[in-house]
Structure 1
């Protein structure tokens, strides 16, 4: 059989009614039969060592380019022969070249033939051929055809990709592009990156530990180095390489094993940041009109960068490699002050992850003044990007935790009308709004300076205070987390006001002639008349008991002033809040008990007062008779859950006592409060006696 005879077999069109991909079973069988004598011929030539084999194999390689011959090549045994042939050392250059053509063409879009490659165990040999520069332009496309897909059978594990992984494809490719052979490999960079990407997917799914023998630890660093070198401003081919290299880098960096090894490499973080910045510059450069497909692909890649940076910055090695004042963190801080929303948002995520200790947060604010550009972002009316705003506010939340940072952040203008109050109004962006309200609460905690800022109008033209605007958010929001945080912020304000020795220093303003604390508190509660509703919300909710405990403490503080006590009484006009308070004091649902029987029975364990006693005498008897006079509100410790019930009872008793003494006429039923006072007081005394070992 001559080479021309072989070519004629592949050229014939009468094996099926039509040529092309789809042929009948009869036609398929005909093609397999037609290949039988050719297979016999090549076997004989191989056994005899004839160089005529090279010419025959060339014709088979030419024929294998036709789609309709792919399956027959596999079913006839022809592909198996050449898969066995490729494992032999010392093949003539022409023979190995055409053998690779047959393997590559047969496997294109043909999973049955790819399965034959796996079964032949020739993958290590194919991968090893990457070391032959003369075959590089051929073996890379062959490997791609073999492993690009194997999903017909619905496997999560792609067998050819797993075989290539175990054959060491990753380290071979990385060594190829990281060394002096890069110029030879450069024309195939797109396929090389695709191969690395396919292997990366298998590493994550099937080999999460990224075994050292099968993976080059410098894979992401090497690709990013090349990406930065390939990111010229106007070269379309360079852009393609940049996108290929960065997309694969991001795939590898989604694996925690690669994150750690990457961060241990010197200058890796700066390399990552530079690649991201170059991609953003290329995307946002109005003078460069990108191909629509390239623009879409670049957009997709740039959308993955921020999450990758967030993941990296959450790894302990990131903080170790990027200390305060380091070039890495200085660059991220410059991004926040810059004008690219993509970079600003990513920097907020990364630095927010770094700011996870009081020491770091204090350094960020007091040394780097990072809160200043963050405040500028929040206060910029043109900034409406939800991701950027959420990132900036979330970063500020971390910074606002240390007590020493709160007044500095507030002084930067964050609580002025155009800053946080602007974001409170973004009802359609519920996550951003929630984060902004939560930040506000943090800024209020034990910070008189910031409480002063939210309680005052910033200028004569402003009709409402920031606190009024915050309460308005509470009233209109249908989001439970937002309502809860807004109500907690209100409680934090009241806690500061009623624990301050000088209320006038908080509530008075340069434009106000009033400095009397009583008058100022009266004006404050008149201005913020919806406060009782917000407080009641915290006491009625049952999801977070600790929030109710915080409320009882704040209400106990408030009740020690006439103005605060009146506000408490207004809040307690909501029956469910009264029920919750009385249950905290007595451990029982008194209102339900009263509704179940006629009259007003005495609480078990407490003697009823004589009928002729006045209301004042009843109150004095309830407090003084039990020896509870002079006890103070007890600040709760949420970490000591076992003590919450006792603390709730004590704070509730303070509250009930003060309300009965100051504004009993404003309570819906002062008798039930008296009963709760006696029962709760007796219960507390009994508990103290037990804890102290006192016998009656």
Structure 2
């Protein structure tokens, strides 16, 4: 058989369907069984002729290979080429050294075309089964056929996992990276997009992560960020997408840092917004390109957060300065600003770095300026849709997140506190303008709390009247009321929690700051008209409002004449400050709701413990005790107090997890030795409990309260250490006892009989538990 006879075979076969040309896209699967058998038989004769050419050394094999390679572009011939044995034959030829260039090229063409079908995978399976992929990968080292080998490898691997795994094992990615990141790039420049797609195919297999060169993403990013490479949009998208896929894994992130590739990462990110246009891409490719932005942000943020980053790139390095320029430049792209804020926020995880950014770089200045712009123009953009956040809202969230880290060091808080200053009221305005952006609203409230914690200057800011004009209705309102309003209306649990914590932090500063006299401005100084009302607060004439279902009992207690709290607080030299605080609390009665919420929530025990501490501190003053008592009015709130002190469920009576370790008999014994009543007997229904204890308390003379040792053990409010969870129940009990003791000192006769009876028992049994725990601790320390 001569080459002309081989050509005639392809010319004689009609197209499977009318109108199909010589290189029909029809697949072999669409051929009838008889047609497929006929073609396979014809090609088997060709195979016999090729074997004769090879044995005789005839150059006809080169011509025949070209004819076969040309016709293998017709999809209808690919399955017969495989089934006839021709594909296996040419795969075998490929392993022979010294092939003539024409035969080598056409052999690669035939292999690549035969594997170009999307389905079936029979021919790809033949390549893998014969272990030929390694040889083809090896041929990447031959510049003369490089332009053929790359498409062949892609056709073999696309949509066929066994080939992808085999290619990873053969170190295909390492071979490709050595080409594109070096002088040989010019030999395959036209196929750079296909190279990127091969990387993507390999990355779909987990094995590739262990087989690839760790520096692969660094090399690719340096390639795409090189201005001399001149990539088109599609090539850039493919290569960057591959790089980011590798960089989703920490080992490659660390290699990027070691290779000094972070600057290339930042440059590529900036180029994606300033250098490339997606207008000419089809909709799917354009969507993929736009999605790169979020992937970039995640990777940049993760890379900067690694401990190795700070070792390689100090705060004054070019890379960090590049991030700072994105944040500080008024004209920088909003996405670059957002990425810069997220990255620098991860760098500002220590006090030293946060102080550096504020004191030396003054990075907060452009951030505050950005947030001070008209809010609507920032939050909404034409690109926003109903189910996706706009780039502007993402930027605002990133800025707030960065500021949160900057707000942690104490020295930074007053500087950043300008966010609370009128007339801009940046943060208060954001509390009320972001109901449709819950993530932004939460970040704004969270930042507010951080600015308030242990910062009298910022507490003064948030507590200042909205108007300095005494005649204005806004004179008796503050931004704290705006925050309380948000707490009451929001359904977002995280925002509600942060708002409540912020308000508790305000109270803590008001009662613990060494310069408390300067915390509240003079605007809250009571006027002459207010003096009698303020005096009534200090004298205890006005009692806290009891719950509605105890109003009669409360009236009886008040009518008994015991209406003067025994709690005392010096009125000099800070009497003016105390009166201002009392008037401030009177203007903000809903603050107690925040304490109720924190006390009754069970999701975060540490926050509940912190609230017990603050409540114990507040209970040592007139106005603070009144606030706490309002917070304890709901049944669930004082039930939580009972359980914190006793370690037992108020209704069911059973021991709570982490509660007191004493058994009933031991507790009764300890209480008996102290001359106290036993615990309230457990009952199954709350109403029964109320009736039983209420009746018992009603039989006790009101003067009994004065005969009880309300001081109990010597206790002081204690701050909870979240790292010491084992001690949380003990500290909660002691702080609860301080709270109960202070209430009983000053307000026992204002309590409904039922609650007063419960509090009396808590002081006795709770005190016994504390003494027992201390005794055990002392014994343990001695034995050690």
Give TM-score, length-normalised by structure 1. 0.89
Q: CA deviation at 1:16?
A: 5.0
Q: Which moved more, 1:355-364 or 1:532-541?
A: 355-364
Q: How many residue pairs align between the two structures?
A: 665
Distance verdict in 2 for CA 1:502–1:355, change over 3 Å: closer
Instruction: Say yes or no: does 1:440 pair with 2:458.
Output: no
Instruction: Say yes or no: does 1:257 pair with 2:341.
Output: no
Query: Are the counterparts in 1 of residues 174 and 213 from structure 2 also a CA contact under 8 Å?
Result: yes
Among 650, 668, 671, the alignment partner of 2:757 is: 671
Query: Are the counterparts in 1 of residues 465 and 523 from structure 2 also a CA contact under 8 Å?
Result: no
> Which residue in the other structure is 2:588 paired with?
528
Distance verdict in 2 for CA 1:474–1:68, change over 3 Å: same
Q: CA deviation at 1:14?
A: 4.3
Distance verdict in 2 for CA 1:100–1:491, change over 3 Å: same
Q: Which moved more, 1:549-558 or 1:372-381?
A: 372-381
Distance verdict in 2 for CA 1:15–1:634, change over 3 Å: closer
> Which residue in the other structure is 2:295 paired with?
304
Query: Are the counterparts in 2 of residues 566 and 666 from structure 1 also a CA contact under 8 Å?
Result: no
Instruction: Say yes or no: does 1:644 pair with 2:733.
Output: no
- Counterpart secondary structure, 2:709: helix
Give the distance between the partners of 2:406 and 2:12, measured in 1 at CA: 76
Q: CA deviation at 1:587?
A: 2.9
Give the distance between the partners of 1:414 and 1:391, measured in 2 at CA: 21
Give the distance between the partners of 2:577 and 2:425, measured in 1 at CA: 30
Give the distance between the partners of 1:414 and 1:392, measured in 2 at CA: 18
Distance verdict in 2 for CA 1:304–1:622, change over 3 Å: same
Distance verdict in 2 for CA 1:688–1:255, change over 3 Å: closer
Instruction: Say yes or no: does 1:401 pair with 2:488.
Output: no
Counterparts of residues 472-487 of structure 1 (less than 5 Å):
472-487=485-500
Q: CA deviation at 1:458?
A: 4.9
* Unaligned runs of at least 5 residues, structure 1: 151-157
Give the distance between the partners of 1:692 and 1:64, measured in 2 at CA: 90
Among 367, 382, 391, the alignment partner of 2:360 is: 367
- Counterpart secondary structure, 1:208: helix
Distance verdict in 2 for CA 1:619–1:634, change over 3 Å: farther
Q: CA deviation at 1:639?
A: 2.2
Query: What value does the CA root-mean-square deviation take over the aligned residues?
Result: 2.9
Distance verdict in 2 for CA 1:415–1:685, change over 3 Å: farther
Give the distance between the partners of 1:640 and 1:417, measured in 2 at CA: 42
Distance verdict in 2 for CA 1:462–1:429, change over 3 Å: farther
Q: CA deviation at 1:437?
A: 1.9
Q: Which moved more, 1:103-112 or 1:2-11?
A: 2-11
Instruction: Say yes or no: does 1:618 pair with 2:705.
Output: yes
Q: CA deviation at 1:657?
A: 2.2
Q: CA deviation at 1:416?
A: 7.0
- Counterpart secondary structure, 1:507: coil
Give TM-score, length-normalised by structure 2. 0.79
Q: CA deviation at 1:495?
A: 0.7
> Which residue in the other structure is 2:578 paired with?
518
Give the distance between the partners of 1:15 and 1:501, measured in 2 at CA: 95
Deviations 1:227-265 (A, max 9, x none): 123589xx8x63333333322222222233322222101
Distance verdict in 2 for CA 1:536–1:231, change over 3 Å: farther
> Which residue in the other structure is 1:154 paired with?
none
Distance verdict in 2 for CA 1:588–1:262, change over 3 Å: closer
Give the distance between the partners of 2:452 and 2:8, measured in 1 at CA: 87
Give the distance between the partners of 1:415 and 1:112, measured in 2 at CA: 74
Give the distance between the partners of 1:644 and 1:26, measured in 2 at CA: 83
Query: Are the counterparts in 2 of residues 336 and 343 from structure 1 also a CA contact under 8 Å?
Result: yes
Q: CA deviation at 1:414?
A: 7.6
Give the distance between the partners of 2:232 and 2:582, measured in 1 at CA: 70
Among 148, 156, 161, the alignment partner of 1:146 is: 156
Q: CA deviation at 1:72?
A: 0.8
Give the distance between the partners of 2:523 and 2:637, measured in 1 at CA: 38
Instruction: Say yes or no: does 1:348 pair with 2:341.
Output: yes
Instruction: Say yes or no: does 1:277 pair with 2:270.
Output: yes
Q: CA deviation at 1:137?
A: 2.0
Query: Are the counterparts in 1 of residues 524 and 584 from structure 2 also a CA contact under 8 Å?
Result: no
Give the distance between the partners of 1:262 and 1:248, measured in 2 at CA: 14
> Which residue in the other structure is 2:304 paired with?
313
Q: CA deviation at 1:15?
A: 7.9
Deviations 1:28-71 (A, max 9, x none): 11211121111111111112211111111111111111010011
Deviations 1:208-236 (A, max 9, x none): 333xxxx344422322222123589xx8x
Instruction: Say yes or no: does 1:86 pair with 2:81.
Output: no
Instruction: Say yes or no: does 1:465 pair with 2:472.
Output: no
> Which residue in the other structure is 2:222 paired with?
225
- Counterpart secondary structure, 1:632: coil
> Which residue in the other structure is 1:155 paired with?
none
Counterparts of residues 20-35 of structure 1 (less than 5 Å):
20-21=26-27, 22-35=30-43
Query: Are the counterparts in 1 of residues 168 and 207 from structure 2 also a CA contact under 8 Å?
Result: no
Give the distance between the partners of 1:414 and 1:43, measured in 2 at CA: 90
